[in-house]
Structure 1
Amino acid sequence: MKILVIGSGGREHALVWKLAQSPKTTRIYCAPGNGGIGRMAELVPLPVDDLDGLVEWARKEQIDLTVVGPEVPLALGIVDCFEKAGLRIFGPSKAAARLEGSKSFAKNLMQKYGIPTATYQVFTDPGEAKAYIKKKGTPIVIKADGLAAGKGVVVARDLETALRAVEELMEDEKFAEAGKKVVIEEFLQGVEVSLLALTDGSAVLPMTPVHDHKAVYDGDKGPNTGGMGAFSPSHLVDDNLVTRIKSEILEPTISALAKEGIIYRGVLYAGLMLTEEGPKVLEFNARFGDPETQVILPRLKNDLIEVMEAVIDGKLADLELTWKENKALTVILASGGYPLAYEKGKLIYGLDQKGQVQDEDVIIFHAGTKYVDGKWLTNGGRVLGVTALGKDFADAKKKAYDVVKRISFEGQHYRRDIGDKAVNNL
């Protein structure tokens, strides 16, 4: 089979890496990809939002399966475009992707169908939003309604921060159209985890639970990023809790969408808070997470093409996922200044020509790199994801950070506490 992966980050590198292992794969492409992906797949110089161009190219090259990584093309309707052209594609439709593309849509759906989440209000007027915050007090959470690359959420612990968040989103238009409408919701106390599931619109098949690290600095300090690291499985989510999340959140959400006339096929990603009252939804994403994918796929034993075809063909009920016993941990190496302004083009030291290191238990997933004249250069905010497999979390953490120390570039930043919660059972 000829496979096309859409996207250019660490998630897409992990997808390419896993898909390339399938005996069904004969050739693999990535649009637009990055330097590291280019060592495994043929890069296609088309941006993820050029839906017509991607459809035309896939039809011309007779692509057998397209896999969509990022949220933007899903929100734009890439799945609808490919299916209309008679091309097989993995991911939810434009209508289904609204679950991520509009937080107010997701919150209203959850409220209507009794799916546990934080109480909230939606605002289009900044004055009304500020008045509501003053009435409710802090801590409080302010979210851009639309897509903001994982950076449109502010957890405000004081009134000044909350009011400034409203100004930045709604008045200064920090995220353009995405922030003109905001969701303001109660601050949930607890521990945050992620559970991704596969669904064909009927059956729901949870994957291994993941613990993500969104804040830029150690101790979960500083602004949110797209993710600074992850580990899997989460030590806080056992099989009984997975079953509960499936029955109370995942299945009711798929059923609710169906009642609204929307069939959801693909990955449903639930960002959850484990509260004293039970798991509650913080947000939904309509695709594989990043960096969650980098700790999920290395542990997955199944052929990923077979898994995706079962989703597309409505045969997920016949499938069982199997996982390696190893623990997985990813540390993200980021450019100095990320998630704010940062420079590109910094020379990366410590990688071989394939963009890897000589360690059989460690995989380097490239997020923001390019390969020029035999040299690796930074080309994004999140640059590399160092993923290690170990017999336990302490082993996986040691292997990952041993390799992290062998890689360097000017301004390099990374968290030093990825996995500590699992190692210390916190």
Structure 2
Amino acid sequence: MPQPDKTNVLLIGSGGREHALAWKLRQSPDLGDLYTDSPKNPGLAKLCKPADVQVVGSDTFMLENFCTKNRIGLVVIGPEEPLAKGYTDVLLGLRSPGEGIILQKPRAGMSALEATSLVNTQAVLHAPTSHVFGPLKAGAKLEADKAFSKDLMRSAAIPTAEARTFNDYHAAKEYVLSRKEAPVIKASGLAKGKGVFVPANHEEADTALQRIMLKREFGDAGNTVVIEERLKGREVSVFAVMDGRNILLLDPCQDHKRLHDGARGPNTGGMGALCPTTAIDDRTMDRVLREILIPTADALRREGIDYRGVLYAGLMLTHAGPKVLEYNVRFGDPECQALMMRLNTDLLKLMLAAAEGGGKADGSTSKAAQGLEAIEIGKPLGVSVCVVLAAPGYPDNPKKGVPITGVEKAEQVPGVQIFHAGTAIDDQNRLVTAGGRVLCVTAIGPTAEHARTQAYAAADMIHFEGKLMRRDIGTDIVG
């Protein structure tokens, strides 16, 4: 039952990132009912009501109907795939279900009567919710289409790696072999975080091209490849919330991608995070805002894109200054877990302000909407460290169904939160592994060392056969 002056929220996504968002949303006094589309995640199940909103193919009827029936005032979309598919457009009534056409704007030269008729005709497309935290499909192309992203950066003179785009394997191979140093190879589309290759030599680069373009390991995501120069420096993750006009910077994070200590082993979705990272100072963050984020927002507006949600810029801090490696249109995982632990503001109000914006989805301006201008973020609550516990066989072949013990004991460690990423309850009522990254042990403290100590104390209390865990998260080890 809807509560007066409360906002009902639907959270889409099933991982540790979404568990952390739910945990933070729960702290808002303005939250009504909180729903999840992933109640099989035990962490989400404790905080949220289940929502039967399964989307089959392009049929979003159940999702739209649920939002209408339950008076959902905000939909928070965690992962990139639903954003790339246009869920935001559907939920705001800007796109018909499936591959429907975006609503037309009145054309120049139309009479007032014709324009009114067009708007009234299209009003039959019902908006299932009033607010969505997450960009429209056009904005999601920043992550879903790396070729588009590169073109936008070039057009706005945003510092980034030199790159070429190819649709033909033989042309791509010829270009790779012409380079003195093996370049970075990227599938242009979404590849679940596995479509980026950093080869050690030209032979490995060609193997990457074959996997993407000939063997089609990533399907249509590999129709186009982006081949980039290899940048040298230190990687950091910078997050900003946008409302179509304003940019609100959040804390920079250090992600640890490699599987093993010392930045060794294969790339993963992320084995841990530190927030904030000391790798980037205030002066450099000011450059990021002036040279990267503001020009990106301006370039999006020139493309007619009203971007509302979070923008995640993966940066390389080079000797020439910060350069963009990639854009993502959602919170990082596990960076989000570390961010939420130290964020000193009402997350619900923040997300509603971004979704409301200072203008309308059609690009017009609303004087009544303050957007992010009305949001104040207090002094951060401390330093946070997130340590990921992964299943045996991760990242290539993680083992599922392995019993997990010790979580309840670990949750008692002061300053620690355990976020469920890939867990489930089996038919014997046991907590078991259900994905590659299993649990995110996240701690907050006055210093990075204190947070690390607490996080690892809790992580060592959790047991499952074959547990994978790095021991150097939150240190100066990069990668």
Tell me, yes or no, whether TM beats 0.5.
yes
Q: Distance in 2 between matches of 1:334 and 1:138?
A: 33
Partner SS for 1:156: coil
User: Which residue of 2 is the match for residue 334 of structure 1?
Assistant: 390
Match of residue 176 from structure 1: 219
Q: Distance in 1 between matches of 2:410 and 2:429?
A: 14
2:80 to 53, 71, 76: 71
- Partners of 1:162 and 1:103 lie apart in 2 by 18
Structural RMSD (CA): 1.7
Could you tell me whether the CA contact under 8 Å between 1:7 and 1:68 is conserved in 2?
yes
State the alpha-carbon separation in 1 of the partners of residues 392 and 279 from structure 2: 32
Report the counterpart of residue 89 of structure 2 in structure 1: 80
Aligned to 2:99: none
The residue number in structure 1 matching 2:466 is 411
Note if contact 1:333-1:383 (Cα within 8 Å) is conserved in structure 2.
Answer: yes
Structure 1 gaps, min length 5 = none
Task: Give the corresponding residue for 1:345.
Answer: 401
Matched, 1:238 2:274: no
TM-superposed CA distance for 1:343, in Å, is: 1.7
The corresponding residue for 2:144 is 101
Letter in 2 for 1:14: A
Look up the equivalent residue of 2:394 and give its one-letter code.
Y
| Paired position in structure 1 for 2:50 | 43
Distance in structure 1 (CA, Å) of the matches to 2:377 and 2:222: 38
Q: After superposition, give the CA deviation of every residue in 1:43-76 in whole Å (9 maximum; x if it has no partner).
A: 3344467633212211122112110000000000
Using the TM superposition, give the Cα deviation of residue 128 of structure 1 relative to its aligned residue in structure 2, in angstroms.
1.1
Q: Secondary structure at the residue paired with 1:420?
A: coil
SS of 1:383's partner is strand
CA separation of 1:322 and 1:48: change in aligned 2, threshold 3 A: farther
Quick check: 1:117 aligned with 2:160?
A: yes
* 1:385 maps onto 2:435 in alignment: no
Report which stretch shifted further, 40-49 or 121-130: 40-49
Residues 1:22 and 1:356: Cα distance change in structure 2 (over 3 Å) = farther
Could you say which residue in structure 2 is the equivalent of 1:21? Answer: 27
Residue number among 125, 131, 135 corresponding to 1:92 in the alignment:
135
Contact 1:31 1:48 in 2 (8 A): no
- Name the counterpart of 1:151: 194
How far the C-alpha of 1:220 sits from its partner, in A, is 1.6
State the alpha-carbon separation in 1 of the partners of residues 230 and 187 from structure 2: 15
Task: Give the secondary structure class of the aligned counterpart of 1:280.
Answer: strand
1:198 matches 2:252? no
User: Equivalent of 1:374, from 410, 429, 447?
Assistant: 429
Matched with 1:320 is 376
TM-aligned CA deviation for residue 325 of structure 1: 4.3
SS at match of 1:32: coil
Given the two structures, how large is their TM-score scaled by the length of structure 1?
0.96
Give the conservation status (yes or no) of the 8 Å contact 1:230–1:418: yes
Q: What secondary structure is seen at the aligned counterpart in 2 of 1:421? A: coil
TM-score (ref. length: structure 2):
0.85
Q: Structure 2: which amino acid aligns with 1:232?
A: C
Counterpart residue number, 2:475: 420
C-alpha distance in structure 2 between counterparts of 1:189 and 1:320, whole Å: 36
Q: Is the 8 A contact 2:410 2:459 kept in 1?
A: no
Residue aligning to 1:54: 63
% identity of equivalent residues: 46
Letter in 2 for 1:348: I
Aligned length: 422
**2:345 matches 1:309:** no
